[in-house]
Structure 1
Amino acid sequence: METSTITFDQLPHVVSGLSEKLDRVLELLEKVGAANPFKQHKPSRRIVHAKEACTIIGKSLSTLYRAIKAPNDPIPSYKRGKLLYFYEDELYAWIENGRKHAVAPSFEEQVAAVTAGMKRRPRGGYNF
Structure 2
Amino acid sequence: MNANEISFENLPKAVGHLLSEIAELKLMVSKGQPPVTTPKRTPLGIEDACRIIGKAKPTVYTLVRKRLLPCYKNGKKLYFFEDELLDWIATGKKKTLLEIRTEAESDVRRRNQNIGGR
Q: TM-score, normalised by structure 1?
A: 0.47
Per the alignment, residue 92 of structure 1 pairs with 86
Provide the C-alpha distance between the structure 2 equivalents of 1:81 and 1:53, rounded to a whole number of angstroms.
18
User: How do residues 34-45 of structure 1 correspond to structure 2 at under 5 angstroms?
Assistant: 43-45=39-41
- Structure 2, unmatched stretches of 5+, are 1-28, 105-118
Q: Given residue 43 of structure 2, which amino acid in structure 1 is its aligned partner?
A: I
Deviations 1:22-61 (A, max 9, x none): xxxxxx8871427xxxxxx783423110011000000100
RMSD: 2.8
Counterpart position of 1:48: 44
1:99 and 1:31 mapped to 2: Cα distance? 43
Q: SS of the residue aligned with 2:58?
A: helix
Q: Structure 1 vs Structure 2: percent identity of aligned residues? A: 37
**In structure 2, how many angstroms separate the alpha carbons of the residues matched to 1:42 and 1:60?**
32
Give 3-state SS (helix, strand or coil) of 1:33's partner: coil
CA contact 1:77–1:87 (8 Å) conserved in 2? yes
Q: Is 1:60 matched up with 2:61?
A: no
5+ residue gaps, structure 1, are: 1-27, 35-40, 107-128
| 2:45 is the alignment partner of 1:79 | no
Matches of 1:33 and 1:58, distance apart in 2: 37
Kindly tell me the number of residue pairs found equivalent between the two proteins. Answer: 71
Moved over 4 A (4+): none
1:33 aligns with 2:1: no
